[in-house]
Amino acid sequence: MTLARSTIDWRHVAGLGVALVVAGQFSGWNYGLASAGWANMIVATLLMASLSLGLALCLSELCAARPHAGGLYIYCEDAFGPFVGYIVGCAVVVALIAGCGAATEFISAYATHVFGSGGWPLKIAIYVVILLLHLRGVGEAMWLMVGAGLLALAAILLFGVTMVPHFDPANLTLAGERLHVDPTGIFACIPFAIWLFIAVEQTAAAAEEVAEPSRNMPKGIIAAVLILLISAMVVLVLGVGGGGIGHIGGADDPLYAAMASPEVGGTAGWATAFVGMGGIVGLLGTLFSLVYSTSRQIFALARDGRMPAILGRTNKRGAPDLALLLVVAVAVAVSAISPDKVLLVVVLLLSASYVVLLAAFIRLRINQPDLPRPFRAWGGIGTAMLCMILSAVLFAACFQVDATVLIGLGLLFAAIALSYLRLPRGGAPSSPLLPEERSADAS
C-alpha cells in the first residue's frame, strides 16, 4: 500500500504549510487579546514564532533523513518504540480532526456575515466537495490548497493596507488602560498566540509524496513559517491598531469585525467584502489541508499495523479513500462543538506531541550519530532543547481548558492506550525509500 508519487516541490510544501495555518490568522488568535491585552499577546506571538521555526528546523532534518507519511509519530516511534509512536499518532489525529471542526464553525461565522447564510447545509456541502476533490489525487488537491493559501494571504495584505490609515496606538488598549507586559499575561496568551502558527509542522505528512524530500521539505517548511510570521504581524499590529482591541477581542471573525468597526468608519465596502471572502477561502484552505494531513496520518498508522489495515487502502489515483471518508465523517460531528473549547484541545494535544518529537530528535542525534542527514537543523540539540522548553510551557498553558474537556480527553486516551494491547505484534513499520533509492530499485 503506497501513496501516489508526485512532483510536489518546496513551493507546494510551503503552500500546504500556509494553508494549514492561515485560518488561525483569520479566527481564534484574537481570544488572547481578551485574555491579557495586546502587549502580552505580541510577546507570546514572538515566543511561539521561535518555537515554530525551531520545530520546523528539527522536523526538516527528520523528514529529509526519513520521508514518511506518518509525520511526527514515525520519528517518535523510531526513538522511543511503537507504543509512544502510537500514542503520538493518535494525539495528532484527534487534534487535527478537532481542528477541522473548529475551522468549519469559523467558516460558517464568516459566511453568515458575508453572504447572510451558513449553518449545517453549508458545512455538509463543504465536506462533500473537499472529499470528492481529495479522492481525485494529491496533485489536484495540492494545487487547490496552495491557491487557497495565496488568496488568503492576498486578503491579509489588503487588510493590512486598509488598516494603515486608521492605525492609532490608542486602539491597542481599552479606554483608561496602558500597555503592559507581565509573565502571567504572556502565559495566558500563549495558547492563542500559537494559533497563528499551529499545525505548520503537519506538512511532514507530505514528505513521502514530495520529490527530493531532502531539499524540498526543509525549504518549504521554513518558508511557510517565515510567511506566517509576516502575516501574523500584519493582523496583530495593523488589525488591532486600526480596528480597536474592543471590537476584535471577542469576535469569531476578527478581521471582518476590524474593518467594519467605528474606528474604520463602520462601513462594509468592497475591501471589507474581499477580506471576508479571503477569510472564507483561507478557512477552506486550512480545512482542506487538515483533511489531507489527517488522512495521511491515519493511512500511515494503518499501513504500519497501528490501526485497522483497511484504512491503509488507496484508490486507483493513490488517494487513501477510506481514511478520507473516516476523517470527513468524524469532522462533521465535531463541528457541532463550540470552537472556544475545541481550540485549546487542539493546542493541548499538539503541544504534547511537540515535546515528544523534540525529545525524539535529541535521542536520535545521540544514539544514531551516523544516520545520513541530508539536512541538519541549525543549532542542533541546543535548538531542540530550547523548543522543548517552550513546548512544555505551551502545554501547561493549555490547562485553562474546561475541566470536563480534560476529563473527556483523559478517558479517550486511556481507551487508546488500552487499544494498543490488542494490536498485532511483530514487524517493523514500513520505511519508504528516498527518491534516489526508488530509482535504483526500479532499475
- When pLDDT is cut at 50, 70 and 90, the band that residue 137 belongs to is low
Q: Is residue 3 part of a domain?
A: no
Q: Is residue 402 part of a domain?
A: yes
Greater pLDDT, 196 or 211? 196
What does the pLDDT read at residue 437? Answer: 42
Q: Is residue 243 part of a domain?
A: yes
For residues 292 and 141, what is the distance between their CA atoms, to the nearest angstrom? 8
Q: Which domain holds residue 23?
A: 14-426
Task: Give strand pairing partners of 269.
Answer: none
For residues 248 and 29, what is the distance between their CA atoms, to the nearest angstrom? 10
Q: Is residue 265 part of a domain?
A: yes
**Is the pLDDT assigned to residue 421 strictly greater than 70?**
yes
Rounded to an integer, the average pLDDT of 235-259 is 86
Q: How many domains does the chain have?
A: 1
**Which residue matches cell numbers 491557491?**
147
pTM of the predicted model as reported, rounded to 2 decimal places: 0.83
Task: Give strand pairing partners of 175.
Answer: none
Q: Is residue 441 part of a domain?
A: no
What does the pLDDT read at residue 400? Answer: 66
**Is the pLDDT assigned to residue 2 strictly greater than 70?**
no
Task: Give strand pairing partners of 8.
Answer: 210
| Distances 137 to 144, 159, 201, 298, 340 between C-alpha atoms, Å | 11, 33, 22, 16, 33
The CATH number of the domain where 38 resides is what? 1.20.1740.10
